[in-house]
Amino acid sequence: MEKLWEEKKNLGKLKKINLSHSRNLTDILMLSEALNLEHIDLEGCKSLFDVSTIPRCGKLISLNMKDCSHLRSLPGMVDLTSLKLLNISGCSEIEEIKDFAPNLTELYLAGTAIRELPKSIENLTELGTLDLENCRRLQQLPFGIENLRCIVELNLSGCTSLGLKGMETLVRSPCPLLSLFPLRKRKR
């Protein structure tokens, strides 16, 4: 399936759509009319490259785009005030994220090509899960990460460009997770 449908549909009552593993799906243009969507699952839509028409409504709670390997960019998400879960793990072409939805509680960015997190991460005060595993280009964590006091799961494994310098922000912050992996300077 490359497109959802040709003609216009009445999508006013649609709350959940699962298009996972629709390998030939290239865009979701027709979903722009589905203003009551709460859950969108696009996992494994490997040909998907355009999600600029994600419904601009405050009702979207969950957006799963895991392993959409041709996806290169995300639209601004600051208007998605109900969004709690965003998963773009495995979207290896995404190099930059403009902003985040303000009420995220789970954020999965594993395997993306990001070099830095947007400054808006400091406003995610309800964020409990931040997965950055294998973000090999990630060079530093923003200073505002210290505001993330609800974090219970932080995955930085495989962030080979981060190094100790990029961790300085975490060392200075009152992050409760620091007790789980104390950082020590290596003896030479």
Could you tell me which CATH class the domain 11-177 is placed in?
Answer: alpha beta
pLDDT-based confidence at residue 173 (cuts at 50, 70, 90): very low
The pLDDT score that the predictor gives to residue 149 is 86
pTM of the model: 0.85
Q: How many CB atoms lie within 10 A of CB 10?
A: 8
Neighbours of 117 (CB within 10 A): 22
pLDDT at 102: 93
What's the mean pLDDT when you consider all of the chain?
84
Domain boundaries, the chain: 11-177
| Four-CA torsion 38, 39, 45, 51, nearest 10 degrees | 20
Q: In whole angstroms, what separates CA 125 from the centre of its chain?
A: 15
List pLDDT tens digits, range 78-111.
889 999 999 999 999 999 999 999 999 999 999 9
Task: Give the residue from 164, 162, 100, 151 showing the smallest Cα distance to 125.
Answer: 151
Q: Which residues contact 52 (CB under 8 A, 6 or more apart)?
A: 75
